[in-house]
Structure 1
Amino acid sequence: MPFANFFANFTILDYVSSIIDILVVWYFIYKLFMIVRGTKAVQLINGIFVILIFRTLSQVLGLHTLQWLMEQVIRWGVLAIIIIFQPEIRRALEQLGRGKIFTRIRQKEEEKHEHLIDSIVKASDYMAKRRIGALISIAQETGMNDYIETGIALNAKVSSELLINTFIPNTPLHDGAVIIHQDEIKAAACYLPLSENPFISKELGTRHRAAIGVSEVTDSVTIVISEETGGVSVAKNGELHHDLSQEELRNLLKSVLLKEEEQQATSALWSKWVKRNG
């Protein structure tokens, strides 16, 4: 029973050390893939996998010339990688020395959210001043594929210019909602469910009812711009916060997207709305 004797020599500490060792290695590999994602190193990794596949096939099928060639590529490939990717390797080592290599992913996500917020605030300010009606819904954890499929697929990077152009009156996409997921505009001219809440003010139009409706069935945050008044409103968790200034809109989006004391910021805005509308 060689396996039984092998495992019998293991102590609890050995098991714990092995588990920690595996978790640390997997975490390092995960972070490494996240760092190289979106860079030219991805093509390098794909090329390495192709070479390994050819190396295995040549060995199995007895293709000796191809096998020898792949072995030479693998043998000298490490040196080639160091030479080709010297700037990237140097940058990674510098980040490691500054202790920033594992915070890079979070910084990228925050930069995406900041860009998204800036684009929406800039577009909202432009359209509000010109009383251009708009409906922009930002998907969170709850999927919105059912609503995305009702519109016209865009799959484009978010920008204030694109948002403004989408809602220009008398254009094919200006009716309906724009749905954003992460940093992409997934679709435009989407249909959102209207709220059936009987306590909603009769003064609110279809866009506002749609914003409240989708916020009742998903955890999305939806921005509405009234074409009658130019007022900017935000629907979240079935509640509508309207007549927001540019700074209030930015702070509310930050509280949701950047998770900065969401409940406190939302409550403060709600209290301000209640006092304003008495």
Structure 2
Amino acid sequence: MSNHLSEIFNPEYWLGFFSENLSTWDIIVNVLDIVVVWFLIYKLFQLVRGTKAVQLIKGVAVFIGIRILAELIGLHTLSWLMNQIITYGVIAAIVIFQPEVRRGLEHLGRSSFFKPTKKEEREDEQMILAFDKAIQYMSKRKIGALVTIQRHTGLDEYIETGIDLDADITGELLINIFIPNTPLHDGAVIVKNGKLAVASAYLPLSDSMLIPKEFGTRHRAAVGISEVSDALTFVVSEETGGVSLTLNNDFLHDLTREEYLKIMRRELIPDERSVKGRKSLWQAFIDGVRGGK
């Protein structure tokens, strides 16, 4: 396996794909081979974008870069060391990140090259309308709320801290959960696979100094979960009734009904834009949410 890796990182190996001794057909096949490999790498980055696995891939890229540089310069000992790390590091990474690998493969299995069905779109829209009903009720009465919607990154470690619900998503249930002085009102509700998975869950608090001081623990928890996952989280402030959203470390606060609904539909209802790549929450906001474009 080490010999194969050495060939991959050897520039002469790649130049051989376009050797003058090859026929036109062989060159076409080699070009197609390279294009397919880069397409698979691109799809891999799309799959892990916004997840903790991105940090792992960055680390692997650093080792590969050092390996190529060592080969070009002629640092044989360093090159050999990088070979060993890359060879056995792949096996170690699979063992260490087994839950993430499993979730990634499950997500890949659920992926489709076709547009989502009308049934899926209706279910997502019904979920958003349930959120909207609860937000409107709680915002007017200044009832604090914190709801996190799991997307690609698994939230099992945080789900385990909550109280099991496994309930259908309705506005009425969300309102009842967050009524002050009830057993479940303190903590976060986590939504998983179209269900209210748990209530009263604990989320990681952000240490960011960029969060304005007027925002409390709920908002720091919302930003905190956005720093470690791609979950979409909404918060209703018990002081002002203001509505905030967090996603991928973006924090938008004091949103109007039209603004948060537009972002929720953009992020939670799959469509053709998911193939082209989504903008960040902040980019989506400045590109027209405030202006209603």
Question: What is the TM-score normalised by the length of structure 1?
Answer: 0.58
Partner of 1:155: 166
Q: Is the 8 A contact 1:131 1:226 kept in 2?
A: yes
Change (3 A) 1:259 1:266: farther
Closer, same or farther in 2 for the Cα pair 1:270/1:148, shift >3 Å?
Answer: farther
Aligned equivalent of 1:108: 119
Q: Post-superposition shift, 1:187?
A: 0.1
Q: Deviations over 1:160-198 (max 9, x none)?
A: 000000000000000000000121000000000000112
Matched, 1:173 2:184: yes
Is 1:258 the counterpart of 2:262 in the alignment? Answer: no
What displacement does 1:199 show?
2.1
Choose from 238, 241, 264 the match for 1:227: 238
Aligned position for 2:256: 245
Gaps of 5+ in 2: 1-113
Instruction: Choose which of 191, 197, 206 in structure 2 pairs with 1:186.
Output: 197
CA root-mean-square deviation: 2.3
**Percent identity of the aligned residues?**
48
Write out aligned runs for 1:48-127 (5 A).
Answer: 106-127=117-138
Q: Which residue of structure 2 lines up, in the alignment, with residue 269 of structure 1?
A: 285
**Closer/same/farther in 2, CA of residues 237 and 190 from structure 1, 3 Å limit:** same
| Letter of the 1:263 counterpart | K
Alignment partners' CA distance in 2, 1:167 and 1:244:
20
Secondary structure of residue in 1 paired with 2:135: helix
Aligned residue type for 1:269: F
Q: Which amino acid in 1 is paired with 2:222?
A: A
The Cα of 1:259 is off from its aligned counterpart by: 3.8
Distance 1:248-1:104 versus aligned 2 partners, 3 A rule? closer
Label 1:273 to 1:249 Cα distance change in 2 as closer, same or farther (>3 A). closer
Q: Give the Cα–Cα distance (whole angstroms) in 2 for the partners of residues 174 and 263 of structure 1.
A: 33
Structure 1: distance between partners of 2:123 and 2:290 = 33
* Separation of aligned partners in 1, 2:161 and 2:225: 14
Once the two structures are TM-superposed, the CA of residue 222 in structure 1 deviates from its matched residue by: 0.2
Distance in 2 between the 1:154 and 1:232 partners? 24
Report the residue type matching 1:214 in the other structure. Answer: I
Question: Take 1:199 and 1:105, find their aligned partners in 2: how far apart are those partners?
Answer: 37
Q: What is the DSSP-based 3-state SS (H/G/I as helix, E as strand, rest coil) of the residue aligned with 2:146?
A: strand
**What secondary structure is seen at the aligned counterpart in 2 of 1:178?**
strand
Question: Does the Cα contact within 8 Å between 2:205 and 2:225 map onto a contact in 1?
Answer: yes
List gaps (5 residues or longer) in structure 1.
1-102
* In structure 2, distance between residues paired with 1:165 and 1:179: 15
SS at 1:136 equivalent: strand
TM-score (norm 2): 0.55
Q: Deviations over 1:98-127 (max 9, x none)?
A: xxxxx8972221111001100001110110
Instruction: Give 1:216 deviation, angstroms.
Output: 0.5
Q: What is the aligned partner in structure 1 of residue 212 from structure 2?
A: 201
State the structure with more CA Rg: 1
Output the amino acid matched with 2:190.
I
